[in-house]
Structure 1
Amino acid sequence: MSEPTYPADTFDSPAPVLSVSPVVLPAPGRAVDLEVRVSAPVTGSDLPVVLLSHGQGYSNHLSSLNGYAPLANFWAAHGFVVIQPTHLSSASLSLDPDTPGAPLFWRSRAEDMTRVLDQLDVIEAAVPQLLGRLDRSKVAVAGHSMGGHTAGLLLGARLTDPDDGTEVNLADPRITAGILLAAPGRGGEALTEFVAENWPFFRTTDFSKMTTPTLVVAGDRDDSAHLTVRGPDWHADPYFLSPGPKSLLTLFGAEHGLGGVSGYDVAETTDENPGRVSAVQRLTSAYLRTAFNPGNSAWKAACDALLSGPEPLGRVESK
């Protein structure tokens, strides 16, 4: 299929965005039906789809379909249809803590994304402005923090189910590109004692079969001491421990919030920096545009513009 007709050819000309929520997808066997937000440019055709998985922060509603507006709005304004689920781990649902899979619902989170792809017809029917405008051959998954773990599973990462000892493979071949933002790294000795004991699924994370092209974004000051004993380098594991093609964007001075990607002016961002958020927006958008259309130079141009000069915002390496 030809390259999408983007509503905006440059980052300086965002298109108006429509955003609809909640779109409710029937989910038999799930604790509640799956609610999603759909954001898209009001114009344009052959639009790629980005599934965006929220993290597990302190706020009640950032970890839901109502979070991550800086990313969802920007991506939608520059030619992508962004679909954000509220995972069962969201505090906004107030589920009983004894609900099977609680508290982090690692398997259900990935299954939510597969369910979204299975029900794109339902989504189009609920948002008729999208009818005939999706390019279903171009699907990416993105996730921040715990959402990065979710995205990694869909991109091919594996783990051993701590309940029955089986290898878990939740990769979805319909997904052809990924963005991992401050995602968890390896398990084993890299984990804190609390994580190893309370969230044992993290122990066996294996990136060796995560073959889907992916951009890994990590902050060089994101020590995540509540999760790992390895410091900021832990968040680069999905790059170094997986096969190519991959790219690693290391943001200088960035902590876990990467400048504030989870929401506008949120208190849980410890490194608030609008310029850094802008860089993440532009670089991730450019990466996806080139990943879906290899002849497109957007990724190289964005790297040259944002990561060069006397005070670069970060560095990129690829394999």
Structure 2
Amino acid sequence: MISARPVVLPAPSGRGEDLQVSVCAPATGGDLPVIVFSHGFGWSMDGYAPLADHWAAEGFVVVRPTHLDSRTLAIPHEDPRTPRIWRTRVEDLTLVLDGLGVLEASVPGLAGRVDHGRIAVAGHSWGAQTASTLLGARVLDADGVPGEDMSDPRVTAGVLLALPGLGDSLTPFAAENLPFMKPSFDTMTAPALIVAGDRDDSALSTRGPDWFTDAYTHSPGRKSLLTLFGAEHSLGGVPGTEVAETTDESPERVALIRRLSTAYLRSALSPADTGWREAVAALENDPRALGDLLSK
């Protein structure tokens, strides 16, 4: 595997910081599809190695930008950019897409090996909301009217991990301080794998774990739902191993996410690939096939 960090993309002046990203990819092969990954609140391009390293080993170019809310940047809450960080996050992903050629040329051994026509987005928590916007989700304004369409036709699939749900059940704190957490999934038409934990009980919603399945329930596009029994918000440890945010560490659960997300993305980006359909059929016909998937 080859990797480089930080690779810097010049950003608009209003961002205040150039965009730092991490790029990892297989050491050999060509026509490599791309996954742009959006981290959860406070994380950075250095997080989510359990997913990024696996995807790279399986033949993807994985790009992880560092958003302005990252603890590594230490931007205070009272910073004037804070109210629009949710938009800046989306713009970060678009900036990565615009700069794919620059990133490809900046990583030794990667030039000429990237397939710019096969691009997916992925994200965890706030990062999943960020990624969903490029798939067609929109944020409602105070009157419930969908805001700007920030979808991107270059993105053809997504993996959304612990994606926050609708804004009709926000706690008073979330409603007052996080007004962007009012998504509409009515126009999220791009294919997506939505992953939720059945013990993910968020302090931001008055509902229970089913809040994290709203995108599956309300989006009109081709989508799949993977519900992980016993999983909390970190879904077993997708941000990393032995980190404070992981309260339900489970290497087996992370391994399952890695295997199924890889199969899903391969099939979504290459329609001739049947791996996802085969994995779903195996699990439906015999739950014991789960062990076989984990061992591959």
Task: Verify same fold: TM over 0.5.
Answer: yes
- Match of residue 186 from structure 1: 166
Structure 2 residue 184 is the aligned partner of structure 1 residue 206:
yes
Q: State the match for 1:231 in structure 2.
A: 208
Q: Match for residue 317 of structure 1?
A: none
* Contact 1:209–1:243 under 8 Å retained in 2: yes
Tell me, what secondary structure is at the counterpart of 1:121?
Answer: helix
Deviation by residue 1:235-275 (Cα, 9 ceiling, x = unmatched): 00011010021111111111111110001221221111100
The answer on whether the counterparts of 1:160 and 1:168 sit within 8 Å (CA) in structure 2 is: no
Letter in 2 for 1:37: S
Task: Note if 1:129 corresponds to 2:106.
Answer: no
Residue 18 of structure 1: aligned partner: 2
- Contact kept, 8 Å, 2:3 with 2:107, in 1: the verdict is no
Q: Report the TM-score, using the length of structure 2 for normalisation.
A: 0.92
Counterparts of 2:28 and 2:193, CA distance in 1? 27
Q: 2:251 aligns with which of 271, 274, 283?
A: 274
2:11 matched to which residue of 1? 27
What do the CA deviations read for 1:96-127 (whole angstroms, capped 9, x no partner)? Answer: 43333316710000100000111112112211
How far apart, CA to CA, are the structure 1 residues paired with 2:26 and 2:284?
28
Structure 1 pair 133/91, CA: closer, same or farther in 2 (3 Å)? same
Native 8 Å contact 1:158 1:207 kept in 2: yes
CA contact (8 A) 2:58 2:262 kept: yes
Aligned pairs, how many?
Answer: 289
Q: Aligned in 2, Cα 1:306/1:68: closer, same or farther, shift over 3 Å? A: farther
Contact 1:191 1:227 in 2 (8 A): yes
| In structure 1, C-alpha distance between the alignment counterparts of 2:242 and 2:184, rounded to whole Å | 35
Query: Distance in 2 between the 1:89 and 1:103 partners?
Result: 11
Identical columns (%): 58
Tell me the equivalent position of 1:12: none
* CA displacement 1:34-73 (0-9 Å, x = unmatched): 000001000111000000000015xxxxx00000000000
Contact in 2 for aligned 1:145/1:183 (Cα 8 Å)? yes
What is the rounded CA distance, in whole Å, between the counterparts of 1:291 and 1:28 in structure 2?
32
Distance in 1 (CA, whole Å) between partners of 2:141 and 2:118 is 30
Contiguous gaps of at least 5 residues in structure 2: 291-296
1:105 maps to 85
200, 212, 225: which one aligns with 1:222: 200
Aligned residues of 2:241 and 2:249 also touching (Cα < 8 A): no
**SS at 1:55 equivalent:** coil
Q: Over aligned residues, Cα RMSD in angstroms?
A: 2.0
Closer, same or farther in 2 for the Cα pair 1:37/1:162, shift >3 Å? farther
TM-score between both structures, scaled by the size of structure 1: 0.86
Mapped to 2, the partners of 1:152 and 1:99 lie a distance apart of 26
- Equivalents in 2 of 1:104, 1:287: separation in Å? 32
- Residue type of the partner of 1:191? L
Structure 1, gaps ≥5 residues long: 1-16, 58-62, 314-319
Mean alpha-carbon deviation: is it higher for 119-128 or for 101-110? 101-110
SS in 2 for 1:105: helix
Deviation at 1:141, TM superposition (A): 0.3
Q: Distance in 2 between matches of 1:23 and 1:37?
A: 6
2:153 aligned partner: 173
Q: 1:310 to 1:208 in 2, by over 3 A?
A: closer
1:136/1:310 CA distance change after superposition, 3 Å: closer
Residue of structure 1 in register with 2:36 after alignment: 51
